[in-house]
Amino acid sequence: MSEHEYVPKSKAAKWFNDRLPLLTLGAHLTDYPTPKNLNYWWTFGGILTFCLITQIVTGIVLAMHYVAHADLAFGSVEHIMRNVNYGWLIRYIHSNGASMFFLAVYIHIFRSLFYGSYKSPREIIWILGLLIYLLMMAAAFLGYVLPWGQMSFWGATVITNLFSAIPLVGESITTWLWGAYSVDNPTLNRFFSLHYLFPFLILGLVVLHIWALHIPGNNNPVGIDIKKPSKDTVPFHPYITIKDAFALLMFMIIFAGFVFFSPNILGHSDNYIPANPLVTPAHIVPEWYLLPFYAILRSVPDKLGGVILMFSAIFILFVLPWLDTSKVRSAVFRPIYRQFFWILVIDVLMLGYVGAMPAEGVYLVLARVGTIYYFLHFIVVMPVVGYLEKTDPIPMSISEPVITGGAEPSLARKLNEKV
């Protein structure tokens, strides 16, 4: 994407680069022209990369000490906590790291929703991102099963049983997933294997996600196409690297707060009770980051219907770029859509809350209302608002905030000189 061709300085570097252009790639990454008006919501891509690497590194160390066996798994986790040097730290980083990963990914996704980053020409980036998100949920679910506590076991039972809702072949598929006639040792073994595999699949998709991003370049808060490189852009290094580093450090402070001072607050106390197939916990709840989908699942009285709706809630996001009819990307200039955006945020938070509550009474009503609104937002609000809405005037560039059909160009220049 670099506009100018990179030429290595030394002969040896040139020899190498002619055969494998890693240096060209490096130069591209450092020079990569980035909109200079990116705000802090744009720092979560870097933060997510950090989260992934952290999970992989801590996970590899944990796997050196963990034993994937129904009789030994719980004890091996306690062994890590008590006898492995800094095992408690590594495990708490890994378990809280999953939560921090999802916190960051949700901010990242809603950032994209607000600024229209999924819109043309960035549809493939968006779809790759959703695939990453799907794999993240799968990896997190698999990982939560590994300590083989009560919530591990019963969570695995509930989720794998969802597949039994599939007509005709459902029961067979569930048995095939378990490798047994219930969640048992074979299930734990394959879950461990897959839990180790998925992060590397995610890593591969992340490379594609970034590659796809570097074709059109970043969207930006104004949401307009910009010329690259130009007055509107800065080289990725050092401008964006230092800003990402600053944001990452702030994120790490919160992360460390959880790890060192409240490492179990995001988990469920029942998972410190060893798995017992004969005792069902009073309330089976997934981890907080899956709760909105759990609420959607339980809002439907029919099992198959619930499963279909839950998966639809994610798959509908794949066609989002084509459901959104607006010609304007950024919600900054979309006064009506902007309000619906915040209603959606509240709706998803509410679904998360009722997902943690028993599926009865007022919670069930809220879950149903929330579910209906969730789908309405994407199927009705997005196409209709995009079509009808009168958007605010849009600047022609980032540096020169000339409003189309608006303010006088000379005024804009004057304002610019002041800055």
Partner 1 sequence: MKKFNTIINNIITILFLTTGSLHSAETTDPIKVDWSFKGITGTFDRASLQRGFQVYKEVCSSCHSMQYLSYRNLGEPGGPEFTEAEVKAIAASFEVTDGPDNQGEMFTRPGRPSDIFVSPHPNKEAAAAANGGAYPPDMSVLVKARKGGANYIYSVLVGYEDPPPDVKLDQGVYYNKYMIGNKIKMPNNLVDGLVEYADGTESTVDQMAKDVTTFLAWAAEPELEERHRTGVKVIIYLILLTILVYLSMKKIWSRIDTEV
Chain residues in the site for partner 1 (CB under 8 A): 36-37, 75, 78-79, 81-82, 88-89, 92, 234, 238-239, 242-243, 245-246, 249-250, 252-253, 256-257, 259-265, 269-270, 272-274, 349-350, 353, 357, 399, 416, 419
Pick 349 or 388: Cβ nearer partner 1: 349
Q: Give the shortest CB-243-to-partner 1 separation in angstroms.
A: 6
Q: Give the shortest CB-245-to-partner 1 separation in angstroms.
A: 5
Integer CA distances (angstroms), 165 to 170, 185, 305, 356, in order: 6, 23, 9, 22
Q: Give the shortest CB-259-to-partner 1 separation in angstroms.
A: 7
Pick 255 or 340: Cβ nearer partner 1: 255
Residue 2 contacts residue 27 (beta carbons within 8 Å) = yes
Q: Give the shortest CB-397-to-partner 1 separation in angstroms.
A: 13
- Could you give the CA distance from residue 36 to residue 212 in angstroms, rounded to a whole number? 20
Only one residue has tokens 């294997």, namely: 193
Q: Give the shortest CB-333-to-partner 1 separation in angstroms.
A: 20
Q: Which own/partner contact pairs does 209-213 have at CB distance under 8 Å and 24+ positions apart?
A: 209/125, 209/128, 209/129, 209/132, 212/122, 212/124, 212/125, 212/128, 213/122, 213/125
Pick 328 or 350: Cβ nearer partner 1: 350
Of the chain, the end-to-end C-alpha distance in Å amounts to 30
Q: Give the shortest CB-31-to-partner 1 separation in angstroms.
A: 15
Hey, what's the torsion of the CAs at 241, 247, 248, 252, to 10 degrees? 160
Cβ-proximal residues to 157 (8 Å cutoff; 6+ apart), any chain: 182, 183
- Could you give the CA distance from residue 209 to residue 99 in angstroms, rounded to a whole number? 22
Closest by CA to 248, choosing from 52, 61, 28, 27, is 52
Q: Give the shortest CB-269-to-partner 1 separation in angstroms.
A: 5
Pick 135 or 273: Cβ nearer partner 1: 273
Q: How would you class 404 by CB atoms within 10 Å of its CB: exposed for 0-12, middle for 13-18, buried for 19 or more?
A: exposed
Pick 227 or 327: Cβ nearer partner 1: 227
Pick 404 or 416: Cβ nearer partner 1: 416
Pick 172 or 269: Cβ nearer partner 1: 269
